[in-house]
A and B are shown apart, each in its own frame.
Chain A
Amino acid sequence: MYTQGLDSLGKDCLRDETQDTGALERRFQARVDAEEKIEPKDWMPDAYRRTLVRQVSQHAHSEVVGMLPEGNWITRAPSLLRKAILIAKVQDEGGHGAYLYSATETLGVARDELIGQLLDGKAKYSSIFNYPTPTWADVGAIGWLVDGAAIMNQIPLCRCSYGPYARAMVRICKEESFHQRQGYEIMLRLVRGTPAQKDMAQQALNRWWWPSLMMFGPSDAESTHGAQSMRWKIKRFSNDELRQKFVDFTVPQARFLDLTVPDPELRWDEAAGHYRFGPIDWNEFDQVLKGHGPCNRERLEARRKAHEEGRWVREAAVAHAAKQAARESSRAA
């Protein structure tokens, strides 16, 4: 959220690497353990910085790419109000991307560099946005399930040890709640409509259920970054814990809609107080992450096209600013 002239690092960060890194690291971990926030100019281990740059930039890219599956429904939303709501939601996602890119900039990475990585296809973003939205019900399912899963992931991030990321997440979480509720309301309208509309809602749930569970990432046994991120208090709960919580919250919401969760193995475990669910197709997850999902290519092409088509606007803004500045200085002279 800020870099400090704001654009230089603190003294500790500039110290000779060989000097006393152990002591700095111990002090750092002690601060994290004491629930103190780490701020941009504070000393931090390189690996902590790299982990955050990776995580926060992937998160930012996900928000930006996340505008696309819904954006293509803006012109086709069924009423003027739904169009206005969808525009507001898509605008929020763009805003979330901007907050998060700002947070990564406090770690010393330029936004342009990160956007360049996204457009070059080198950066990862959430696998969920590589699935298509063939019907209006998909827009409802995305709000309900995808934004619901995002909230589950993001609420603990409001307490992340890195201050700028935590503050961005507080702002984002406030806005996500509207996203989830408008999505659930779309589903509610559909299941209370004609049989064809209800079927449309069921089909959308079928499409989005499993990809939503995959949003929490690989199972704890497979997760490569989990343990260290927990020690650094970047993460507070494991992928599997959050996934379980999401299932426990969401199954009753599906029941209320009188829709069927597409998992024949789903059952209530009375003793554990949890819903048990069937195995996740991790092969599909890997394929989508590697770029072989249904829409990976389309999403990146849409992003690149938007970037290219906006070029003249950026150029005009720079030319305008230069002209204004020249006028100012000639007036002052």
Chain B
Amino acid sequence: MTDSSRDWPLYEIFIRARSGLDHKHVGSLHATDARMAIEHARDLYTRRQEGISIWAVRSGDIVASDPAEADELFEPARDKVYRHPTFYDIPDEVKTL
């Protein structure tokens, strides 16, 4: 069953639903080039007006953090509760703070 569809690169697809919103990852697809990636993304992910803008990124070009290292990466933020506004006790009489 080998044929020319083998090894078409994988693209990750990001869609902006409305102006004012971020592009959001919606899934992936195979395409021979960037233009086909955009056209297929249009057919696959916006059949019901789900978007007004598409980003396509080659999957291999995305650098991702390793879940096995999640503790080392994210643990340092855990005990820094003073970064949140709710950490500070302010008397009720003080307004607009």
Contact = CB atoms under 8 A, between A and B. Distances in A.
Interface string B19-53: 00000011111101100100000011001100000
> Does more than half of chain A's interface fall in helix, strand or loop, or is it mixed?
helix
B10 A3 contact: yes
Nearest to A99: B27
A120 B36 CA distance: 28
Contact of A5 (B30, B36, B61): B61
B66 interface: yes
B3 A5 contact: no
Contacts of B29: 98, 102
Interface size range of chain B in the complex: 20 to 34
Given A11-B69, A95-B47, A321-B36, A6 B12 contact: yes
A231 B60 CA distance: 33
B47 A92 contact: yes
A321 B33 contact: yes
B81 interface: no
B61 A112 contact: no
B1 A321 contact: no
Interface in A88-134: 88, 91-92, 95, 98-99, 102, 105, 110-112, 115-116, 119-120
A1 interface: yes
B63 interface: yes
B27 A1 contact: yes
B97 interface: no
A303 to B, nearest CB: 12
Nearest to B58: A5
A311 B1 contact: no
Contacts of A43: 67-68
A314 B4 contact: yes
Nearest to A320: B32
Interface string B59-88: 111111011110000000000000000000
B6 interface: yes
Interface in B1-18: 1-6, 8, 10, 12
- A-B pairs with the 9 shortest C-beta distances? A116-B1, A321-B32, A11-B68, A4-B64, A321-B33, A12-B68, A6-B59, A1-B27, A317-B32
Given A5-B62, A111-B30, 11 more contacts: A1-B25, A3-B59, A10-B66, A10-B68, A11-B66, A39-B67, A42-B67, A88-B47, A317-B32, A318-B32, A321-B33
5 contacts: A4-B59, A10-B67, A102-B29, A112-B5, A324-B33
